[in-house]
A and B are shown apart, each in its own frame.
Chain A
Amino acid sequence: MLIALIAVAVGATIISGMVTVYREVPQQLGREFRAYGANLLIIPANEAATFDENKIQNVREVLSEHEIIGAAPFLYERLEINKQYILTGGTNFDELQKVSPYWQLEGNYPAAGEREVLIGAQLAKVFSPYEPSEIIGQEVTISAGEGTAMKKYVVSGIVSTGGKEEEFAFMNLDDLQQIVSKPNEISIAQFSVVAEGDSLKTIEEKISSGIAGIHPQLVQQIANSEFNVLSKLQVLVLLVTAIVLLLTLICVTTTMMAVVTERRKEIGLKKALGAANENIVREFLGEGCLLGAFGGLFGSSLGYLFAQSVSLQVFGRGIYFSVPIAILSIVLSIIVTGVASLIPVRIATAVDPAIVLRGE
């Protein structure tokens, strides 16, 4: 019986642990995926070049049920920097760091309210071919084009992204809007949202139908990767859970059959004393279910510790104890031991009470 109890407890541990990990991993992985950049873009509708930056707030309201890691607005314009036309992005650098934490920075991001500019790594090579990093701290002149006022900006840092952004310059959104006289206008907003699988699609539809003047677009590559990883994880968890349940079932059935064989004489005696088959069924099923309940109780606690350890080691953050998962593990354990007891119980009811008279 101890072996059966251990088997049930181990089964419940793995089930509880896997289900907890399965429930937590999408959220944790979602956060991990957010490190790879935005998964939702907001662009102007109807081929317009820009849209009102206040629409970002509307989008935030639509996303209220989801955790928003960051929402970075961008206005892209060609500016003359040191007499060269450079595509320049105006943005909110606090939000940018949340949306694109993978950007690697030498120096600092432009501070809010300061005349500072961030230069892409490729652009820095243009301005300072021999030692690109020497551009940091130097002044550059920026204007909207010929015949417009020229302003001096200090290069606060150089950014490497591995993408096109390395050819751009970046400055505070307000500054750029002021330079190009486009107050409150932005070209694009990048959102990083913690959302699983199909819910991003739902978000996209809600924004499309609910907010005029903008068009949502999923970053397919990231959304698909996220969806694929989570789908594979789901299959893996289901597979492992099914195998564990099956193994527990086999182990408990074997143990219960051994118990019935061992107690064959006792069963015969009870029947000789007048126990009906219902009594025998109740006793063995009761024992099985009690075994399941205790095993499930131990297992769900151990499973939580297992999931907690996985979460801490892999994602670096803890998880909460889930009562529904504990109850699910206990109920599943009871069901498994109940089912596992069916064959042994059938054998027990078939015991002939006359064995006690034959002295077997």
Chain B
Amino acid sequence: MALLELKNVSMVYNGKVRALDGINFSVEKGEWVAIMGPSGSGKTTLMNIIGCMDKATGGEVILDGIDLSDIGADKLTEIRREKIGMVFQQFHLVPYLTAVENIMVAQYYHGLPDLNDALTELKRVGLEDRANHLPSQLSGGEQQRVCIARALINYPVLILADEPTGNLDEANQNLVMKIFHELHAEGHTIITVTHSPDVGREAQRCIVLEHGRIKL
């Protein structure tokens, strides 16, 4: 059974703006899929739906055997917390918390924060010596690696990355992609949303959106 399955998913805002129309695809466990498309193609809307931050107005979204179309906001939050690890283009680290504390924030909402686990994740992305630095003391690449460590801390079934290299220079872009390859090799399921063909090519498979539909 696929880890993620979208069946005829559509999203209509205010009853007239159709952001997604008849989206069908599935992602197998351990697969790395890139969702690509120009601005306004519906990438963010699709990511919101897969990331349990919004509900499709039509169709079915099944994540790890759970139909997301039938559940309420609280349950969506719980699934987001339990099953999804998010990596953001703009990193979104809490500015007054250190690198390790930023990772522990995600642990806090999931269960009990554990410093050793958080440090282990930091080590995994090569930042064990930057644990007590504030985001303002880290480079863009380092911030993104903290963001990846935070996404991994609760052992998610799906890593959802929104333009993970969008704010990085080439060197850091390569470093982050290397981490994604390692995660993929470890068996993680990854969906990256990007408009960059270079990043899209790193994935096993690309789904291209255009005007809210999958471009065939």
Contacts and interface: CB of A to CB of B under 8 A. Distances in A.
Interface of A: 265-266, 269-277, 279, 352-354, 356-359
8 contacts: A272-B80, A273-B86, A273-B109, A274-B78, A277-B74, A352-B53, A357-B53, A358-B44
A353 B154 CA distance: 19
B48 interface: yes
B18 interface: no
How many residues of B sit at the interface, in one of the four size bands? 20 to 34
Contacts of B109: 270, 273-276, 279
B105 A270 contact: yes
A102 B98 CA distance: 73
Contact of B81 (A273, A354, A356, A359): A273
Interface stretch (B29-37, B56-64, B88-96, B184-192): B88-96
B150 interface: yes
Contacts of B94: 266, 269
Contacts of B90: 356, 359
Contacts of B150: 273
B131 to A, nearest CB: 19
Contact of A272 (B53, B89, B110, B154): B53
Contacts of B121: none
Interface string B83-114: 00010111010100000000001100110000
A76 to B, nearest CB: 83
Contacts of A275: 77, 81, 109
Contacts of B88: 356-357
A50 to B, nearest CB: 84
Nearest to A278: B74
B77 A265 contact: no
| Most B CB within 10 A of own CB, among A272, A277, A356 | A272
B105 A353 contact: no
A274 B53 contact: no
B53 A354 contact: yes
Nearest to B150: A273
A265 B94 CA distance: 9
A278 to B, nearest CB: 9
A353 B48 CA distance: 9
B30 to A, nearest CB: 23
A338 B88 CA distance: 34
B213 to A, nearest CB: 20
A359 to B, nearest CB: 6
A274 B48 contact: no
Interface in B34-62: 44, 47-48, 51, 53-54
Contact of A359 (B78, B89, B154): B89
B128 interface: no
Contact of A274 (B47, B54, B106): B106
